[in-house]
Amino acid sequence: MPRPELLEQIYTIVDQIPAGRVTTYGRIAKMTEGATARMVGSAMRHLPEGHQLPWHRVISASLKL
């Protein structure tokens, strides 16, 4: 599980993905300070219950959900 400050960066980036658009785990990782694509995936897997983040807009580099 990524550090709390890294989670905050990841969640902030995901929250800014516009409706109708997608991005990859790797692209989000490149926008943070030290995350990897796997860390972004882990952050998505551990989202708190009741969250409002558009997690479904984050896909793998092979364009799979």
In a domain, 64, yes or no: no
Query: What does the pLDDT look like over 1-50, one tens digit per residue?
Result: 678 899 999 999 999 999 999 999 999 999 999 999 999 999 999 998 99
Query: How many domains does one find in the chain?
Result: 1
- Give me the helices (H) in 1-65, please: 4-15, 25-30, 37-45
pLDDT for residue 65: 65
What distance in Å separates the CA atoms of residue 63 and residue 65, rounded to the nearest whole number?
Answer: 7
Cβ atoms of 58 and 40 within 8 Å: the answer is yes
**For residue 45, what is the domain's CATH number?**
1.10.10.10
Q: Which residue has the tokens 């989202």?
A: 47
The residue range of the domain holding 23 is 4-59
> Is the whole model's pTM more than 0.85, yes or no?
yes
In a domain, 65, yes or no: no
Beta bridge partners of 59: 24
